[in-house]
Homo-oligomer: A and B are copies of this chain.
Amino acid sequence: MENTENRREELIGYLKGLRDHICREFESIETGGSFQRETWDYNKGSGGGEMSVLRGEVFEKAAVNWSGVQGDKTPLSNEDLPFFATGVSLITHMKNPKMPTVHFNIRYIESGDQFWIGGGYDLTPMGFVFDEDTDHFHKVAKDCLDPHGEHLYPKYKQNAAEYFYIKHWQKERGVGGIFFDHVNSGDFNKDIAMWKSVGDTFTDAIMPIYKRRITESYTEEDRQTQLQLRGHYVEFNLLYDRGTKFGFESGGNPKAILCSMPPLVAW
C-alpha cells in the first residue's frame, strides 16, 4: 500500500469481493429470491454506495451495503476535517424465529491525516437462544482473532457486550460477538490482516447456524415474539447506534441507512 489512493482502491476491491461472497453464500440457502442491487450517489461529497437487498422465504430480508464516500466534514467530529469512509455493513432478518439475526460490519475511515479501521459481527436470537449456536459463533470469532493477538478476542468481545447494550431495557441486544473501532496500531498491514480475517470468517460464523436451524418448526406465537424482539433491534439502531448517526450526520442516503430495518415489526 504505497499511498492513500492505492490503499483505498485495494480496500474497496476487497470489500466488494467480500460483499459478493456473502451474497452468494446467503443465496445458496434461499429458496424464494435473490439479491437485488441498487446504487446511489453521495450528494454531500463524492462517491456513493451499492445496496443489495434480498427479500425471500428464508431471509425475510437481508441487506448488504457497500459504501465508499468522501466529503469535507467528518461526521460526529467537532472539527472540520475532510474524510473518506468505506465499508460493508449487513443485517439479516430471518423468517424462521429459530434463525437468529446477524449483523456484520467492517469499515475503513480517514479523517484529516488520521486513518483507522473498525468492524465486528454479533448475533441476536429472536426468542430462542441455542447455546450450541452461541458457542460456535464465538469460537469462530476467537479462532479468527487469536493469530493476530490473544488479547484481541476478550477485548473485542467485551466491546460488543458494552456497545450492543439496550440501555432502556437494561439488556444486551443479543448474545454478543466482537466489535472494534478506531484501530490503528501503527502497523497498518498488520491491522488490515486482522480486519480481513474478520471479513473472511463471517460466513463461517453464521452459515453453519443457519443451515442447522433452517428446518426447525415454529408457532404463530414464536413469530409474534420475534416481531416484538425486532422492535428492540429498531430501538437500538435508531436511538443508540453510532453507524446510523454517522450515516444521517454525513447526509448519507436514508434508504441505504434504513434498509437494515426489519421487514415487519410489532410493538
- Chain A residues close to B by CB (< 8 Å): 61, 167-169, 227, 231, 234-235, 238-239, 248, 254, 257-259, 261-267
Contact = CB atoms under 8 A, between A and B. Distances in A.
Given A231-B261, A261-B267, A263-B266, 4 more contacts: A168-B257, A234-B238, A234-B265, A258-B267
Contact of A267 (B167, B169, B227, B263): B263
A231 B258 CA distance: 10
Copies held by the complex: 2
Nearest to A266: B264
A61 B231 CA distance: 16
Contacts of A167: 248
Main SS at interface, chain A: helix
A167 B245 CA distance: 13
Contacts of A169: 254
**Those 10 A-B pairs whose CB atoms lie nearest each other, nearest first:** A261-B267, A238-B238, A168-B254, A265-B265, A238-B239, A264-B266, A168-B248, A169-B254, A263-B267, A263-B266
Contact of A235 (B61, B168, B227, B238): B238
Contacts of A257: 168
Query: Which of A61, A168, A259, A263 has the largest count of B CB atoms less than 10 A from its CB?
Result: A168
Given A265-B264, A266-B264, A258 B238 contact: no
Nearest to A245: B239
Contacts of A262: 267
A4 to B, nearest CB: 30
A12 B90 CA distance: 48
B254 A248 contact: no
Contacts of A238: 234-235, 238-239
A237 to B, nearest CB: 9
A142 to B, nearest CB: 33
Contacts of A266: 263-265
A265 B227 CA distance: 10
A217 to B, nearest CB: 23
A114 B39 CA distance: 52
